A and B are shown apart, each in its own frame.
Chain A
Amino acid sequence: MATESHKADSLGKYLLVYVCILAIAGLQFVVAYQPIDKSRMLVRMLSLAIVEAGLGVMFFMHLWQEKRGFLWFVAIIAVFVLAAMNYSWPDSFRMLVGAPFSK
């Protein structure tokens, strides 16, 4: 399983990714205290979380070093299903405004 690319990895690169992830996590805490509405806060926090997770998957989990076909396999399945799940939650606005059925 060990590949040449794994061996050639420098520790510095991983430390840089670690510092970046820590910094982005810190930014999330800063965003939590910004005077903005919850929907904008949600978008900002989720954007930061996606960047954080992307760095983790690509570098800590070495997905970047796998075959491109595998990278696409993981990305397409994950993005499609995660996007499809979001089909349901906007319906909660209907509950919030008290309308029993959509009009």
Chain B
Amino acid sequence: MSQAELTMGGHTSGMARPFAIPTKKLAMWLFIIADTMTFAACLVAYGFLRNGTANWPTPFKFSPTVVNAMVMTFVLISSSLTMLLGVRAAKAGDKSGAFRWTMITAAAGILFAALHLREWLGMIDEGVRLFQNPWGSGLFGAAFFSITGLHLLHVTSGVIALIIVGLRYKGGRYNADDIEILGLYWHFVDLVWMFVVPLVYLLNVAR
């Protein structure tokens, strides 16, 4: 068998759908695995700095920071449920339902981002900057803003993707598979937050 035949065969049979998963979905899973490593590297680096710094500050008061984190967590977890409902509606062929749930998910993402920015502005008002703050090690600001900023970037990208994919799905250019693949990304953003909250917020609660 020639190389060309092997290549053709590879593309049309065994190699076409590894694990019986459609290519676009597999690509999203691989992206999620890679992005997991990015966040993990950030959190491990943060753990290294936090553990190795004697005067690491623990400034977060119950109100407003912890309450705000609770609301943000509720909003993001609930947005995963609305995304799931959107995927279910798309799979069932309910186009208007899928579009509606996708837009509700985007709205929840916008609310999350707004709460996050309000919190950032409050901290900046208190004098927290990337490499200085009024409480202790200057690394605190760098760790806090870089990790939460990276997550906020993912949420913002997700909201833009939700709006674009939702509109294109409604217009008939995208199908239910595209909504499902975008759903994977949105759930991943939610999962990352489950680690950011305890490590970055709750371990730095003021007592």
* A residues whose Cβ falls under 8 Å from a Cβ of B: 1-2, 6-7, 9, 11, 14-15, 18, 21-22, 25, 28-29, 31-33, 38, 41-42, 45-46, 48-49, 52-53, 56-57, 60-61, 66-67, 69-70, 73-74, 77-78, 81-82, 85-86, 88-89, 91-96
A3 to chain B, nearest CB (A): 9
Cβ-neighbour of B195 out of A1, A49, A92 (below 8 A): A49
Additional A-B contacts beyond A33-B205, A85-B44 (13; CB < 8 A): A1-B177, A25-B73, A25-B194, A28-B197, A31-B198, A32-B202, A42-B198, A57-B191, A73-B19, A82-B36, A89-B44, A94-B52, A95-B52
Q: Is the CB of A29 within 8 A of B187?
A: no
Q: Which residues of B contact A (CB under 8 A)?
A: 19-22, 25, 29, 33, 36-37, 40-41, 44-45, 47-54, 66, 69-70, 73-74, 77-78, 80-81, 83-85, 88, 91-92, 176-177, 180, 183-184, 187-188, 190-191, 194-195, 197-199, 202-203, 205
**How many Å lie between the Cα of A15 and that of B187 in the bound state?**
15
Which of the residues B41, B51, B177 comes within 8 Å of A96, measured between beta carbons?
A: B51
Specify which chain A residues have a CB less than 8 angstroms from the CB of B176 in the assembled complex: 1-2
Question: Bound complex: CA of A92 vs CA of B54, how far in Å?
Answer: 11
Are B188 and A61 closer than 8 Å at their CB atoms? yes
Majority SS at the chain A contact face? helix
Can you give 23 A-B contacts (C-beta < 8 A)? A1-B176, A7-B91, A21-B80, A21-B194, A25-B197, A28-B198, A29-B66, A31-B202, A32-B66, A32-B198, A38-B203, A41-B202, A42-B203, A53-B194, A60-B83, A66-B19, A67-B21, A70-B19, A81-B37, A85-B41, A88-B48, A92-B47, A96-B51
**A6 near B194: Cβ-Cβ < 8 Å:** no
Complex: chain A residue closest to B69, CB-CB: A29
Closest CB of chain B to A78's CB: distance in Å?
6
User: How near does chain A come to B102, taking the closest CB pair, in angstroms?
Assistant: 15
By beta carbon, the residue of chain B nearest A87 is B44
Chain A: minimal CB distance from B91 (Å)? 5
Contact of A88 with B44 in the complex, beta carbons under 8 Å = yes
Chain A proximity of B15: nearest CB distance (Å): 15
Secondary structure of the B side of the interface?
helix
Question: Which of A29, A60, A77 sits near B70, CB closer than 8 Å?
Answer: A29
Whether A69 contacts B66 in the complex (CB less than 8 A), given A31-B202, A45-B199, A48-B198, comes out as no
Question: Contact between A93 and B51 (Cβ–Cβ < 8 Å)?
Answer: yes
- The reply to whether B187 and A93 contact each other, CB–CB distance below 8 Å, is no
Say whether B36 contacts A21, CB under 8 Å: no
Residue contact A6 to B40, C-beta cutoff 8 Å: no
